[in-house]
Amino acid sequence: EPEVTQTPSHQVTQMGQEVILRCVPISNHLYFYWYRQILGQKVEFLVSFYNNEISEKSEIFDDQFSVERPDGSNFTLKIRSTKLEDSAMYFCASTRSGTGELFFGEGSRLTVL
């Protein structure tokens, strides 16, 4: 069964460092998303991406965040200068139809020290 894959599963970084989280969405999917979940809190929308551009972003997704689909298969989230409050589980998701029936990856846990 096709699945969304994310790497790394866990990354520890120092405050102020740049982090890139990688995702390989399901191959025939057209809509891509990043969500985050701080421990014990709700799943929060960060950004949606369609047709090689951001279609929507939340207020969390400030200038420190960026997304790219560099090669037609990978979908990356970059955090330019990490803060302590960026510590969270980051989920990539994709869907073919854009209806909200999302397939999630297993997540990348980011710990900022």
Partner 1 sequence: QKEVEQNSGPLSVPEGAIASLNCTYSDRGSQSFFWYRQYSGKSPELIMSIYSNGDKEDGRFTAQLNKASQYVSLLIRDSQPSDSATYLCAVVTSGGYNKLIFGAGTRLAVHP
What is the Cβ-side half-sphere exposure of residue 4, based on CA atoms within 13 angstroms? 26
Per-residue tokens: 28: 């025939």
CB atoms under 10 Å from CB of 24, counted, come to 16
Cα(36)–Cα(24) distance, rounded to whole angstroms? Answer: 17
Residue from the set 9, 17, 27, 55 that interacts with partner 1 by CB under 8 A: 55
The residue with tokens 């799943």 is 43
Q: Least distance from C-beta 21 to partner 1, angstroms?
A: 14
Beta bridge partners of 60: none
Q: Least distance from C-beta 81 to partner 1, angstroms?
A: 26
Q: Least distance from C-beta 12 to partner 1, angstroms?
A: 17
Is the CB of residue 11 less than 8 Å from the CB of residue 113? no
Binding region for partner 1 (CB under 8 A) out of 8-16, 60-68, 76-84, 103-111? 103-111
Binding region for partner 1 (CB under 8 A) out of 16-24, 65-73, 77-85, 97-105? 97-105
Residue from the set 50, 68, 80, 83 that interacts with partner 1 by CB under 8 A: 50
Judged by beta carbon, residue 44 or residue 78, the one nearer partner 1 is 44
